[in-house]
């Protein structure tokens, strides 16, 4: 069955979008701001913090970058108006980084002004290695304007520990994740255990300094190891949080973290660009295909489709 799930996950991009939509639904909050806010409100009610992300990347026109900039600014307005507990995450290629780094910086600073207006927070996501230096430079500029901004570093990159040491301070807020892009072995660890070890060491390095660590992983071994390390070092809960992607099935473990009083934040993507994102998630977790198929057939037998 696992081979079938993997096979179907690979084939899904070849099918019409209407066919793929049931497989995408667990990972994406919908296409509209209204749907995303409803999901965020429900997660808040269950005790989770949220970060919202408008799906998309690699835009190639200035006008498109301005449209995305303004969409994020309006999203801050909506978060405040609805009273949901949510920050925002964004990618710089979605704001024009491939066109001109100066354009991306101008756009993200405009979004950051909205975060400042509402005393909210902005997370600048990390993309593949050609953009790493530009992203960290823009992050530093943003941090000089407003402290409520954070970066992302990827544990599979060999440079990550050095980047942490260069950035670590009381103003340093970083999400540590494993990394999803294909990278050259000279730039990134390829071995699963090496990536896991570097992830753990990266978080520990942040917390041994003065920074704030957002621990973004579904790897239970990493979560257990870092939870024990945090407890052994008696770290204050205002120094870290745990993060997970919307729809990834580790709910019971997240509930245990909540029960201990830890902040758990769910990354909630939404928007018209749902298809490519969902296909990536299904390829990473092909067992979900079988789970969704089982539920589709169950609902059909019950007359719900």
Catalytic residue among 53, 125, 196, 265: 125
Strands 264-270 and 240-245 turn out to be parallel
Angle ∠(271,143,227) on CA atoms, nearest 5: 75
Catalytic residue among 69, 143, 175, 281: 175
CATH architecture, domain 29-270: Alpha-Beta Barrel (3.20)
**pLDDT at 101 (0 to 100):** 97
Q: Would residue 125 show up in a list of annotated catalytic residues for this protein? A: yes
**Nearest residue to 115 via CA among 152, 72, 84, 82:** 72
* List of E strands, the chain: 49-54, 86-90, 122-124, 149-154, 173-177, 212-216, 240-245, 264-270
**pLDDT at 279 (0 to 100):** 63
- Structural domain spans, the chain: 1-25+286-305, 29-270
Averaged over 47-70, what is the pLDDT?
Answer: 96
**pLDDT at 249 (0 to 100):** 82
Dist. CA 129–CA 183, nearest whole Å: 7
Interval 143-197: pLDDT, tens: 999 999 999 999 999 999 999 999 999 999 999 999 988 899 999 999 999 999 9
């Amino acid at each position: 069955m696992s081979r079938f799930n993997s096979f179907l996950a690979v084939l899904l991009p070849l099918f019409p979008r209407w066919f793929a939509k049931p497989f995408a639904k667990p990972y994406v909050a919908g296409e509209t701001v209204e749907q995303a806010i409803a999901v965020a409100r429900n997660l808040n009610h269950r005790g989770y913090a949220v970060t919202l992300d408008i799906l998309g990347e690699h835009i190639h026109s200035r006008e498109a970058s301005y449209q995305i900039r303004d969409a994020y600014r309006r999203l801050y307005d909506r978060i405040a108006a609805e009273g949901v507990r949510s920050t925002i995450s964004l990618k710089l290629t979605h704001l024009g980084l491939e066109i001109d780094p100066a354009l991306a910086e101008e756009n993200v600073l405009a979004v950051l002004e909205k975060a400042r207006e509402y005393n909210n927070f902005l997370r600048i996501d990390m993309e593949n290695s050609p953009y790493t230096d530009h992203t960290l430079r823009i992050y530093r500029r943003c941090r000089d304007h407003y402290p409520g901004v954070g970066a992302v570093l990827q544990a599979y990159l060999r440079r990550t520990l050095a980047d942490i040491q260069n950035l670590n301070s009381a103003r340093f807020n970083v999400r540590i994740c494993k990394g999803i892009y294909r990278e050259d072995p000279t730039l990134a660890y390829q071995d699963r255990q090496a990536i896991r070890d570097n992830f753990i060491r990266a978080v520990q390095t942040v917390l041994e300094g003065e920074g704030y660590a957002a621990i973004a992983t579904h790897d239970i071994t990493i979560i257990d190891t870092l939870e024990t390390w945090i407890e052994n070092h008696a770290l204050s809960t205002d120094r870290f949080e745990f993060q997970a992607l919307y729809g990834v099935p580790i709910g019971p473990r997240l509930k245990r973290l909540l029960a201990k009083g830890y902040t758990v934040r769910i990354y909630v993507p939404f928007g018209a660009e749902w298809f490519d994102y969902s296909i990536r998630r299904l390829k990473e977790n092909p067992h979900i295909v079988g789970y969704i198929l089982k539920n589709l057939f169950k609902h059909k037998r019950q007359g719900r489709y």
